[in-house]
Amino acid sequence: MLQYIYLKLYGDSGIKIIAFFTIFLYSKIEKEGYMPRKKKKIININKLLRPEKSNFQLINIDKPNLLRDQFPYTEVPKIKFEHSFVMPSLPKEIFITDTTFRDGQQARPPYSPEEIATIFTFLHKLGGPNGIIRKSEFFLYSEKDKKAVELCKEKDFKFPIITGWIRANKEDFKLVKEMGLNETGILTSVSDYHIFMKLKKDRKTILKEYLSIIETAIENDIVPRCHFEDITRADITGFVIPFANKLMRIQEETNIPIIIRLCDTMGYGVPFPNASLPRGVPKLVRAMIDEAGVPPANLEWHGHNDFHKVLINATAAWLHGCAAANGTLFGFGERTGNPPIEGLIFDYISILGHQNGIDTTVITDVKNYFEQEIGVNIPPNFPFVGSEFNITRAGIHADGLIKNEEIYNIFDTSKLLNRPPSVAINDKSGVAGIAHWINSHFGFTKENTISKYHPGIQKIYKNIEALYNKGRITALSSEEMEKIVRKFLPEFFVSEFEKIKQKAESIAKHIIEELVSKEVFKNLDIAGMEKELKILLNENSFIQFAYVVDLEGNQITRNITQLYELDKYSINWVRGNLADRKWFITPIKTGTIFVSNLFNSKITSDLCLTVSHPIWNKNDEMIAIIGLDIKFETLLKLEDAIE
């Protein structure tokens, strides 16, 4: 079919013949993919380092080639063009891979394991049964990272496949094996900026180290995903292709697939088909396929948005032979971010002409979860998910939208995103329009939909009417409407105090869960518990007081407090039996965390919250209660600094 299209495009017979054979060859390459695993072979690194029959050999140089003709640093980077063009060559299959929990977490406060599990479920639903969102990568280093992986594995989804990410360190493969993963990303930087200036090595040395790391992955029966970091500033013919050639030789000898992620780390990539290497995405992808011999199914594009080309570059990679495009939800990623998955979803559907099992309405569910549960502020004009992406503000446009929504709506957003098109509120909106705007803007569902007959709606309408009676002529912005709605419908919103209280609960729960999992707490080792509590207070200045009581309400640890408040507390002061306290009774009854209302500490006079939690032994039997008194004002000041 693709050959036929190109024959139609090119008029004279000479070009027809060239086009036909070019596409025929590309099609042969595209049919290659993952190979079945056979018995592994021993890899001889020294043998791999020998020159091979190829047009491109490793060029080992003494000084870095920084490609100053394209990257002068003190000037805007240059784009070089050639007379030759690269023709599109769509792979047999294209799909999306996710890095929301890896690169996406490098741009914001970390998600909790429970939040990751919820987002992972959204990715599963969005990608559909055919696994359009094929894989999702995770950090593996902290206990929180590992818990997130376990929670996602428990869901037993076929897609996305859970993969890891590790440094180029042989010891780190143990983490991958411990978590039961079959694939992991490995950092293998390819530009001289990284090889010489960051790693302080030369090309031959670093190549040998990279191949040794890959050997370890193969020995552990792990599919290596080599992250070719900073490839759009790399020497493609002098290092990248020779490196990729050797990886493909390893793949051929071991029959274990090797994935190559093309990382446009600084966003230098451009989508133009005649742009030169290393910046031209089309020529870069074709070089990996045609010169390095990498099958399309083994290629993955990972971009950044430093020059506003993050989505179009990923799409260009697809169109020219790269099977996988890597992205994050809403484009969250280091610095300027990565390709937004929701954008990739719509480009995927546009290219193929059908949804292939994708449920686009999940995009709005994810948006509501991020805004309402995690507290993420998405820019109002952000495509597909911003609060105003399908709201018409100009009067003449609003008139057209009312007559026929197709005039000023990109597609049926009601059907595809559960987001009906809307117009900005003005004096002509009426109570029905105001109620509709509120329900749509705040994502209120059937359970909490606000009726136009609600008394608060009437008050909002009169407030808006008064603004126009005073001479206003423009529509209200979303920010203005939000303030008015919160003023007259406060019961539908979480107060700032409740948000801080929830934050305190989340922080304390994380701290306490880590504490009570330690052996000294499971064994009620008093000296050991006191030592851990002292460390806890030393690391967290917002905790005023910590203690443990047995199931009869008797305190069994001394009063552990901040050093500067020792004069206010007597270390040996015992408060008597505490069995009548709510912070003691609630965890005993429910087996869950308790967070009190605000109170003034009798000891320090500070405004505090008490947080308490059960302690269990190795047999999961409740044996004690731990309590923390948290300084509310200190927590407020440190909120942004606390993970």
Please provide the DSSP assignment of 15-65 as one string: HHHHHHHHHHHHHHHHT--PPPP-------HHHHHS--SSS------SS--
Q: What does the alpha-carbon distance between residue 435 and residue 95 come to, in Å, rounded to a whole number?
A: 40
Report the b/e string of 384-418 with b at 16+ CB within 10 A.
Answer: bbbbbbbbbbeeeebebbeeebeebbeeebeebbb
Map residue 251 onto helix, strand or coil. helix
Q: Kindly write down the DSSP assignment for every residue of 439-453, as one continuous string.
A: HHHTT--TTTPPPTT
196, 202 Cβ separation under 8 angstroms: yes
pLDDT of residue 400: 55
List the chain residues with pLDDT less than 50.
Answer: 1-41, 46, 53, 395-398, 572, 643
- Write down the H helix ranges in 31-162: 45-49, 113-127, 143-154
Residues 476 and 129: their CA atoms lie apart, in Å, by 42
The residues near 128 (Cβ < 8 Å, ≥ 6 apart) are 355, 356, 357, 358, 359
- Paired tokens of 251: 């793949």
Query: Are 65 and 203 contacting, i.e. CB atoms less than 8 angstroms apart?
Result: no
**Among residues 185, 459, 136, 163, which one has the least CA distance to residue 327?**
136
| pLDDT at residue number 574 | 56
Q: How do strand 259-264 and strand 543-550 relate by DSSP bridges?
A: unpaired
pLDDT the model gives residue 20: 43
CATH number of 503-641: 3.30.450.20
In this predicted structure, what is the pLDDT of residue 314? Answer: 98
Q: Closest Cα to residue 108, out of 377, 332, 372, 327?
A: 332
How far is it, in rounded angstroms, from Cα 274 to Cα 83? 7
Domain boundaries, the chain: 32-76+93-355, 424-493, 503-641
Q: What pLDDT was estimated at residue 24?
A: 43
Tokens encoding 453: 């007959």
Written as six digits, the tokens of 344 are 């990739």
Instruction: Report CA-CA distances (Å) from 185 to 267, 436, 440.
Output: 20, 46, 40
| pTM of the predicted model as reported, rounded to 2 decimal places | 0.72
- Give phi and psi for 9, each to the nearest 5: -75, -35
Tell me which CATH homologous superfamily contains domain 32-76+93-355. Aldolase class I (3.20.20.70)
CB 262 within 8 A of CB 301: yes
Supply the pLDDT for residue 505.
Answer: 73
Contact status, residue 565 vs residue 544, Cβ threshold 8 Å = yes
The Cα angle at residue 24 between residues 18 and 28, in degrees rounded to 5: 145
CA dist 190 and 262 (Å) reads 10
3-state secondary structure of 559: coil
- Which among 369, 370, 310, 362 is positioned nearest to 340, based on CA atoms? 310
How far is C-alpha 305 from the geometric centre of its chain's CA atoms? 15
Give tens-digit pLDDT for 116-151: 999 999 999 999 999 999 999 999 999 999 999 999
